[in-house]
Chains A and B, each alone.
Chain A
């Protein structure tokens, strides 16, 4: 049963080695996809190449299905997974700024690392910029602390907001992803350059899309919420009413039984 680290399967030192391993594969696939190249990354914003959308949405759909199926099968305790808390205003403004920074600089944080590794000087400069930007943030933090903590809603998830069980949400996301891919391919066919776009067989794409929707549909029927949260020790997710009244500290590790505490559990 996972998550292994939170159940005390290995210590901090080993977790760092695991981080390097996970990072290795992460960087590897990003470079494979061409995400070390800012022209490839920004092409989505000129409707020429939707690789960014395809990679992100496929990864998210696969991971959502994986997490929910794992939980149904009793392989992971979602109550012990660190759910990112919602601070809606800084997230909206931060998202808009990050998007602008992405387009102007050509990268997002992780892809700039991959670009640097493949020899791009602009990637190095982007990283320097990020270090500098973080420094500015820390310096002005006392001034913007109020905004930074505004709009705190606790660890709310889409199922809580929409009041729909997470299996149905997963199914809807799978449908949405397939729809987005279909539109993306149509748009690429119109504006994109067929010489450089990766090829793929239409048959495999159709099979993949069908599989995604089917797995989502099964999940929607079996309703993963029951088995997931009945054994979970986190009150924050089962009852959103109490959640709203007393918001938990964002980084607090609520399960307080015998597993050891993680000091530095933050989103990014």
Chain B
């Protein structure tokens, strides 16, 4: 680690202002998880177009004959990748590695990353959003379900923490 991370409160204030800017300009908050569902829809469309159209969930991403990837959140996610890249670059933090705790192997960590990803991808669709699109955005709007959702994220993660402590500590 070449540079200390920034103060979380300062980051929080800036993030809050970014979110406010998004509400002011677009009338909606940020998000990203739908981008991955759209990538899934696009992949299915490439491999088996009829299959993609027949799926009632993917159908909503293909309304109007547009590509599922021509969407607001997809561009936001691309921007986030660029922003993350830029920040990591100026802090000298770009490094090819598998991030993990000291007592776990690379292979196990990658399998767990895959499992966690599958679980998160599924869960984000079920809850209609993720930590940003549902928790951050919805909580700022004081949406009731989003507050409950956010508490449940913390509950779910704390419940698992003990069993996966070797992965991180």
Contact = CB atoms under 8 A, between A and B. Distances in A.
Contact of B16 (A66, A113, A198): A66
A219 interface: no
A38 B96 CA distance: 14
Contacts of B110: 121-122, 125
A29 B39 contact: no
Interface string A79-101: 01111111110111111111111
Contacts of B130: 98, 108-110, 268
B153 A205 contact: no
A98 B128 contact: no
Nearest to B132: A110
B60 to A, nearest CB: 8
Contact of B113 (A18, A67, A106): A106
Nearest to B143: A84
A19 interface: yes
A33 B21 contact: no
Nearest to A70: B24
A239 to B, nearest CB: 16
A66 B142 CA distance: 13
Nearest to A88: B145
A132 B134 CA distance: 20
Contacts of A208: 9
Interface string A36-57: 1111101101100011001111
Contacts of A113: 32, 77, 80-81, 84
Give the interface residue-count category, chain B.
35 or more
Contacts, number: 573
A63 B127 contact: no
A5 B24 CA distance: 9
Interface in B64-106: 64, 70-73, 75-88, 91, 93-101
A64 interface: yes
Contact of A18 (B26, B33, B99, B158): B26
A129 interface: yes
A133 B94 CA distance: 28
Contacts of B39: 131, 134
B59 to A, nearest CB: 9
B6 A96 contact: no
A18 B79 CA distance: 9
A157 B36 contact: no
Given A30-B84, A55-B11, A129-B116, 10 more contacts: A24-B82, A29-B11, A46-B161, A66-B17, A70-B20, A108-B131, A122-B110, A133-B124, A139-B55, A268-B128
Interface of B: 1, 4-9, 11-34, 36-37, 39-41, 43-44, 55-58, 63-64, 70-73, 75-88, 91, 93-101, 109-110, 112-161, 164-165, 167-169
Q: Which 9 residue pairs are nearest across A and B when measured between Cβ atoms? A: A105-B116, A129-B117, A268-B133, A99-B156, A23-B79, A133-B121, A58-B12, A94-B127, A95-B152
